[in-house]
Amino acid sequence: MLPEDEAILADLTSSRRSVERGDILREGAQQQSVVLVVEGWVYRYKQLENGKRQIVSIFIPGDLCQPFGATPRALDHSLAALNQAVLSFVPPQVLLGAARSNPRIEEALWCDLLKTDALVREHMVSLGRRSATERLRHFFCEIHERLAVVGLVEGDTFDLPLTQVDMADLFGLSAVHVNRALQNLRSSDLLSMRSRKVTLPEVAALRELSMFSSADPQRDGVVYSRA
């Protein structure tokens, strides 16, 4: 990314806001701006009348939580933070303007949008066609790769601010079963977890097992990378 592009994108994060764990925008809220994650983890979810919840996307630093051209409208889902997070609320006009003024930025924004969609699709495959253990394996590969891109993996270890209840709602499982599937992974020595820190000693083997294919061969589409 060229310096001039970076300058423009740095502007996007000039008006930051810090939020605590919990809802940021509720389903039905009139959404004015696009949320850019600067720090922390954010997720989208939908809640059913019977109390069941499904997490549909997870966002990490550098991710845009909505399509960059999302015009003001009522949200069909809720947006929440998993831990304390720093967000930037960017009016879509700003993003659209940046895209118009600079083809490279336009390209980067579209690239980001397409990758976000691709992740959602992969998640759907997990929900529909993978067993509990397979879902976990695949997810850990995916999140490891995404975090590595933005420099949030140290060695083979990273923070994972998800409780087992969160994971249950993410994977479409019960919390009890997530617990048991995690024990599976731990006993196979492909994963260790303690106090929200995950270590994947053999990522390559894990990828092999979970038939994980990188969604991001080029790794050039991150809209905003941490300094």
Residues that bind its own copies (CB under 8 A): 44, 46, 48-49, 52-54, 56, 67, 69-71, 73, 76-77, 100, 106-107, 110-111, 113-114, 117-118, 120-125, 127-130, 169, 171-172, 211, 215
Q: Which stretch binds DNA (CB under 7 A): 1-9, 112-120, 181-189, 203-211?
A: 181-189
- Cβ-based nearer residue to its own copies, 15 or 214: 214
C-beta of 169: minimal distance to DNA in Å? 10
Angle between helix 164-171 and helix 132-149 axes, rounded to 10 deg:
110
Distance CA 43, CA 45 (A): 7
State yes or no: residue 165 binds DNA (CB under 7 A).
yes
- Cβ-based nearer residue to its own copies, 193 or 211: 211
State yes or no: residue 18 binds DNA (CB under 7 A).
no
Determine whether 15 is exposed, middle or buried from the number of CB atoms within 10 Å of its CB (0-12, 13-18, 19+): exposed
Distance CA 227, CA 176 (A): 39
175 binds, among DNA, its own copies, none (CB under 5 to 8 A by kind): DNA
Q: Which residue has the tokens 């990188």?
A: 214
Q: Which stretch binds DNA (CB under 7 A): 84-92, 116-124, 143-151, 172-180?
A: 172-180
State yes or no: residue 183 binds DNA (CB under 7 A).
yes
164 binds, among DNA, its own copies, none (CB under 5 to 8 A by kind): DNA
- Give alpha helix (H) positions in the chain: 3-12, 92-101, 103-129, 132-149, 164-171, 175-187, 203-210
132-151 mask for DNA (x: CB under 7 A)? xx------------------
Tokens of 4: 């001039």
220 binds, among DNA, its own copies, none (CB under 5 to 8 A by kind): none
Distance CA 85, CA 77 (A): 19
Which amino acid is it at 221? G
Tell me the Cα Rg of the chain.
18
The secondary element (H helix, E strand) that includes residue 88 is strand 85-90
User: Which residue among 175, 211, 214, 226 contacts DNA (CB under 7 A)?
Assistant: 175
Contact residues for DNA, defined by CB under 7 A: 131-133, 163-165, 172-177, 179-183, 195-196
